[in-house]
């Protein structure tokens, strides 16, 4: 399968713990995005990379959140000192270029439950 791969698919953690999610985009896609989706809502943009450069961050991305894409390939999203409000599905997506003329492909998401 050459789609966007995310792991772990599910994570249950205690409040205050740190969690890290990994995303492997489609090979040679230079753009990578992170979104967050809660039940009953559409995905909300968190951040965007072009190659290894993080070019945009949403105000939703508090200081407890950090995303990296060190070699321009896979990306990690770390949440420190998790809170119950962080419970959501974290979606990764990639595309070869701009949206116009290029499809964005989403992974299956990583579900986070903070108890």
Partner 1 sequence: TQLLEQSPQFLSIQEGENLTVYCNSSSVFSSLQWYRQEPGEGPVLLVTVVTGGEVKKLKRLTFQFGDARKDSSLHITAAQPGDTGLYLCAGISSGSARQLTFGSGTQLTVLP
User: Shortest approach of partner 1 to residue 20 CB, angstroms?
Assistant: 19
99 counts as binding partner 1 under rule CB under 8 A: yes
- 106 is written with which tokens? 């989403």
Report in angstroms the alpha-carbon separations of 1 from 14, 24, 25, 41, 66: 32, 12, 12, 28, 28
Judged by beta carbon, residue 84 or residue 103, the one nearer partner 1 is 103
- 101 is written with which tokens? 């003329």
103 counts as binding partner 1 under rule CB under 8 A: yes
4 counts as binding partner 1 under rule CB under 8 A: yes
Judged by beta carbon, residue 79 or residue 91, the one nearer partner 1 is 91
């Amino acid at each position: 399968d050459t789609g966007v791969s995310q792991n772990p698919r599910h994570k249950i953690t205690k409040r205050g713990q740190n969690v890290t999610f990994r995303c492997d985009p489609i090979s040679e896609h230079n753009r990578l995005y992170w979104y967050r989706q809660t039940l009953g809502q559409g995905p909300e943009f968190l951040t965007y990379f072009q190659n290894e450069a993080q070019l945009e961050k949403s105000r939703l991305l508090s200081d407890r959140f950090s995303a990296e894409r060190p070699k321009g390939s896979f990306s990690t999203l770390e949440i420190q000192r998790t809170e119950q409000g962080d419970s959501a599905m974290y979606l990764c997506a990639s595309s070869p270029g701009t949206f116009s003329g290029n499809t964005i492909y989403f992974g299956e998401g990583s579900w986070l439950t903070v108890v």
